[in-house]
């Protein structure tokens, strides 16, 4: 009988799993490529199906009612104490009208401010007048679910609910990279949205 070291045995078991896992995404990695032969988008993000967040007025929104319903969605995680987050969302405003008109894109800006700062969030967004839906994740449930550490953290989903691009941090001009990614998405048909 052939004897393998334990670590080699574990690697032999895990390697096929690692190689077969769908398109691993790393920070700033485009998942929408120029190659028509290969769809590098992740499968539909089933993790979002159970997520219910509240907006700043206390109204609940199930993410599956928006993500995967025929139109692209940009999820942007931010906080009132995060200057790059606020800059990114403010700079998206210049492009958002075209994104919404041409692609039906919706931006959901998810604050990770804790419950003590929720009043701060509401007063801040009144001042900046962002045209996006502002959602609250005071317990950082989404942060744990999506396994990210810092904000800003931005996810772009296509109309089918597949993750096509993500990045964290923000530097001036990143909004034009996002614009390029959005413009590579198929233009949605004008039909009715899919049923949840």
- Give me the tens of pLDDT residue by residue for the chain, a chain 196 residues long: 444 444 433 334 433 333 333 333 333 444 443 333 334 455 667 778 788 999 998 999 999 999 999 999 999 999 999 999 999 999 999 999 999 999 999 999 999 999 888 889 999 999 999 999 999 999 998 988 888 999 999 999 999 999 999 999 999 999 999 999 999 998 766 555 555 4
DSSP single-letter state for residue 3: -
Contact 49, 121 (CB under 8 A): no
Contact 66, 108 (CB under 8 A): yes
195 Cα distance to chain centroid: 21
**DSSP helix/strand/coil, 135:** strand
pLDDT of residue 190: 57
pLDDT of residue 41: 52
pLDDT of residue 188: 66
Q: In the structure encoding, which two tokens stand for residue 28, read together?
A: 């700033």
Contact 165, 134 (CB under 8 A): no
DSSP single-letter state for residue 104: -
Q: From residue 120, how far is each of 55, 63, 117, 127, 182 by CA, in Å?
A: 14, 24, 5, 11, 31
- Sequence-ordered list of residues with C-beta below 8 angstroms from that of 66, at least 6 positions apart, any chain: 73, 106, 108
pLDDT of residue 42: 53
Q: In the structure encoding, which two tokens stand for residue 69, read together?
A: 């319903």
Q: What is the CATH number of domain 29-183?
A: 3.40.30.10
Judged on CB neighbours under 10 Å (0-12, 13-18, 19+), 44 is: middle
pLDDT of residue 189: 63
Q: Angle CA(110)–CA(78)–CA(124) in degrees, nearest 5? A: 90
Contact 41, 29 (CB under 8 A): no
Domain ranges of the chain: 29-183
pLDDT of residue 49: 79
pLDDT of residue 115: 87
């Amino acid at each position: 009988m052939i004897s393998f070291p334990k670590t080699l045995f574990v690697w032999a078991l895990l390697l096929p799993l690692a190689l077969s896992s769908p398109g691993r995404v790393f920070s700033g990695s485009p998942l929408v490529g120029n190659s028509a032969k290969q769809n590098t988008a992740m499968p539909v993000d089933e993790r979002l199906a159970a997520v219910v967040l509240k907006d700043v007025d206390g109204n609940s929104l199930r993410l599956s009612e928006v993500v995967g319903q025929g139109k692209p969605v940009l999820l942007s995680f931010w906080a009132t104490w995060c200057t790059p987050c606020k800059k990114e969302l403010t700079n998206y405003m210049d492009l958002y009208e075209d994104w919404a008109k041409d692609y039906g894109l919706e931006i959901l800006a998810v604050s990770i401010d804790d419950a003590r700062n929720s009043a701060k969030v509401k007063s801040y967004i009144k001042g900046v007048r962002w045209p996006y839906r502002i959602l609250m994740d005071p317990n950082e449930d989404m942060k744990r679910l999506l396994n990210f550490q810092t904000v800003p953290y931005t996810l772009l989903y296509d109309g089918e609910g597949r993750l096509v691009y993500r990045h964290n941090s923000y530097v001036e001009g990143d909004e034009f990279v996002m614009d390029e990614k959005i413009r590579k998405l198929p233009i949605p048909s004008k039909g009715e949205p899919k049923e949840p």
